[in-house]
Copies of this chain bind each other. A is one copy, B any other.
Amino acid sequence: MATQTAAQRREGARAAYDAYLAACPARELLDTISDKWVSLVLNALSDGPLRYSDLGRIIAGVSQKMLTQTLRGMERDGLVSRTVTPSVPVRVDYALTELGRDLQPLMRAIKAWAESHIEQVHSAREAYDTRA
């Protein structure tokens, strides 16, 4: 009998690949910026700092949980800064860091590509869906 089943071999390959991918910078970046809330926060803060509640209002559909979770993650990655003003009631401001601002040209490039090619994608989809 085989020392390994096909499933076992694939499992091992998958584990190795996952490890490889986790260490891939491009993957890390894509995982970050493709997050719906991350990109929205990035955009909301592009005009200047905002308070927690302002962000919640501007990004209309977000739940408190996701907003907090998103901001924590972005703070951890060094994309935003969090400033607490210990007044009563408390006031917390969020702002883009230099790294966060560095990211903006790339986001604009992505947006530009999307806008200039979206028509091709849409017509390709239509062709695909109507054929057959």
Contacts and interface: CB of A to CB of B under 8 A. Distances in A.
A28 B75 CA distance: 25
A28 to B, nearest CB: 7
B129 A76 contact: yes
Interface in A74-132: 75-78, 99, 102-103, 106-107, 109-111, 113-115, 117-118, 120-121, 123-125, 127-129
Contacts of A129: 76
Given A30-B33, A76-B125, A78-B120, A61 B10 contact: yes
A15 to B, nearest CB: 8
Interface string A17-49: 110010001111111011010010000000000
